[in-house]
Structure 1
Amino acid sequence: MTLHTDQMSDSFRIGAMLAVVGGFLDAYTYLARGQVFANAQTGNIVLLGVHLSEGDFKKALSYLVPILAFVAGIFVDEWIKHRLEGKVALHWRQTVLLIEILALIVVIFLPLGKADPLANALVSFICSMQVQSFRKFHGMPYATTMCTGNLRSGTDHLVKYFQTKDPSRREKSLHYYSIILFFILGAAIGAVGTKLWGSPALVICCILLAIAFAMLFVKPKTE
């Protein structure tokens, strides 16, 4: 089966790159910024509840901040889409990518420790904008900053392939699992980079986001 996309933002290449960034950022905030998840708000919500039950309100607040920042990112992303779509030279998704890059540059210069809440809030904010802006590849819904939905969708298509022997189901399943593998790759690179260089390792994410930004200028082709 040949999969088609009518815009570059729906391409697998963009999705794979953004999944690497998503995995990288989760590893970075967990390892360098107080064991907080940038993307997986379910984990933060669980840990928020755990620390509230223990009466550790200060620690609970460290998980509440990225959750609220994630929510704020969705609002801002939708505002950008509404205000800019079709009204400026840049695609509104390119504006989102530029905001991501600028926010990560700020995070690079935020000191470890006392500035962790702000750093985590910024990363969660841009991750929510990313997952809200890039929601499909080849017309199929997916996420670049978390894996649970991708794992469910990939497995669902795999089960239906075994039931129907429809090759399109197998191909869709492989695409979802591939996105998960790129996320894992990003987490591995993020872990190594963070341990070696600390926050400056985020330059890797900035480069990938800049490439994605440039790719959005390219007219999409059948993949």
Structure 2
Amino acid sequence: MKYITNENNIVTALTLLSTFLMGFIDVYTFLNYDGLFASAQTGNMVILGAKLLEGDFWEVLIHAFSFIGFMIGAFAAQGIVERYKNRSWKRYRKYLFFQLVFLLILALIQTAVSASLIAFLLGLLAGYELTVFRKVKNTGMNNGIMTGNTKNLMNNMYLAVFHKNKEAQQTFFDLLLGISMFLLGIIAGAAVLLISPLLILWLAFSLTAVFYFLLLFRQSDISH
């Protein structure tokens, strides 16, 4: 039971980190790349279609690259999950390490590559994160797209209020926590953009590094 509880705590913490980062990065791409989303591919498809009709093929290309990157990221992440699924809680340390290295590379090259490549790489990151980190306590959650989370939030609120369903009540609070973290990420990202857009990816890397090293140091506490 201790093993299960500790693993749930790890997944919850990493999902909330990922949710914060998706909001943090989405506001960066939206404001810096003319309405581009790293994680919300529904929005990208809408803007892609509108730009296509307007004849703005450069903007079409940027949104298309983000969409393709997202698909590849989700595909690759599923393969990584399958590869490491039998490695107990330590697989989450591995998942976070991949994210850490990827964010470092992104931060280092961000001023040296085109907007289309940045869109592709951030889409790839989002596809990876949405596949790997998606659970708050016992509640499944999409860490980058809040439409479904909000729908589930209100569905469970109804069940908790009118049917006194305790499980639905817990799910409501789990989803509320996740949505709040996404909103907090947006606010924090917008504040950082006022200082410098170049800080966004470095801060995302730094936050991931903090969680990675905390997980390393907790190894002795959760190894049994």
Q: TM-score range by the shorter chain?
A: 0.7 to 0.9
Hey, which bits of structure 1, 4+ residues long, moved more than 6 A? none
Q: Which residue of 1 aligns with 2:60?
A: 60
Correspondence 1:46 to 2:9 = no
Q: Which residue of 1 aligns with 2:194?
A: 195
Letter in 1 for 2:202: V
Output the CA distance in 1 between the equivalents of 2:92 and 2:84: 9
* CA apart distance, 1:85: 3.7
How many residue pairs are counted as aligned between the two chains?
216
Q: Residues 148-159 of structure 1: matches in 2 within 5 Å? A: 148-159=147-158
User: How high is the sequence identity, in percent, across the aligned residues?
Assistant: 23
* CA apart distance, 1:12: 3.3
Correspondence 1:128 to 2:127 = yes
Greater fraction of residues in helix: 2
Output the CA distance in 2 between the equivalents of 1:211 and 1:73: 23
Output the CA distance in 1 between the equivalents of 2:135 and 2:89: 20
Q: Which residue of 1 aligns with 2:81?
A: 81
**8 Å contact from structure 1 (residues 99, 126) kept in 2:** no
Give structure 1 stretches of 5+ with no counterpart. Answer: none
Give structure 2 stretches of 5+ with no counterpart. Answer: none
* CA apart distance, 1:114: 6.1
CA RMSD of aligned residues (A): 2.5
Shift in CA distance, 125/147, structure 1 to aligned 2, threshold 3 Å: same
**8 Å contact from structure 2 (residues 9, 137) kept in 1:** no
Output the CA distance in 2 between the equivalents of 1:117 and 1:177: 34
* CA apart distance, 1:190: 0.8
Q: TM-score, normalised by structure 1?
A: 0.85
* CA apart distance, 1:6: 6.1
Output the CA distance in 2 between the equivalents of 1:43 and 1:9: 32
* CA apart distance, 1:76: 1.0
Q: Which residue of 2 aligns with 1:174?
A: 173
Output the CA distance in 2 between the equivalents of 1:134 and 1:195: 29
Q: Which residue of 1 aligns with 2:31?
A: 31
**8 Å contact from structure 1 (residues 8, 216) kept in 2:** no
Q: TM-score, normalised by structure 2?
A: 0.84
Secondary structure of the structure 1 residue equivalent to 2:36: coil
Letter in 1 for 2:73: G
Structure number with the bigger relative contact order (C-alpha 8 A, sep ≥ 6) is: 1
Q: Which residue of 2 aligns with 1:96?
A: 95
Secondary structure of the structure 1 residue equivalent to 2:122: helix
* CA apart distance, 1:210: 2.3
* CA apart distance, 1:165: 1.7
* CA apart distance, 1:122: 1.1
Shift in CA distance, 17/83, structure 1 to aligned 2, threshold 3 Å: closer
